[in-house]
A and B are shown apart, each in its own frame.
Chain A
């Protein structure tokens, strides 16, 4: 079973850009779609977007203006950037393989605070 691991800063200042990377091990990035989700404390999950291994993307319309998802096949990684963050972006961020969401990372808590 493929393993996913999120990494990145756990604290981001308001108005700055949140950056997370998901490293895929035990399998290849191709030929799958890969997704990012988030879950604010005590709230429901929210789909952020996904990326195909070759680079095509789909984003949640509510976040589209601030989100960029990219892929680096050479490193077997895909990444999330969320710009102009506010306290409302504080959440646990998860990466997942969008093959019926069969694999998930353990999650990374990102807090937006000055």
Chain B
């Protein structure tokens, strides 16, 4: 049973930089896990920010970027804004098209 891990919470100052990570209990995360990053605000549906490790949708602010870092998938926010305060979920795909989600990182901009 694959388990995806994320930091439960992180805090970043306005204008600051923070990196969220997404790990797997099966070993190093690779591009073959097709990492996704989602942003979810209270009472709202998730919004996909990053797909396939580092690709952005048209609505993804330029300050968000995705990468692989130290055996994990990473989401870096450079120049945090108050509106970036949200829960961030990653997903990794195993056995083909089956995404498994992490527990989420609650990001506070303070």
Contact = CB atoms under 8 A, between A and B. Distances in A.
Given A58-B98, A100-B48, A45 B55 contact: no
Interface in B60-108: 89, 91, 96-104
Interface residues of B, number: 22
B23 to A, nearest CB: 14
Interface stretch (A23-31, A75-83, A104-112): A104-112
Main secondary structure of the interface of A (DSSP, over half): loop
A43 B20 CA distance: 18
A44 to B, nearest CB: 5
B97 A50 contact: yes
Given A58-B98, A101-B36, A94 B46 contact: yes
Interface residues of A, number: 17
Interface of A: 37, 44-47, 50, 58, 60-61, 94, 100-102, 104-107
Interface of B: 36, 38, 44-48, 51-52, 55, 57, 89, 91, 96-104
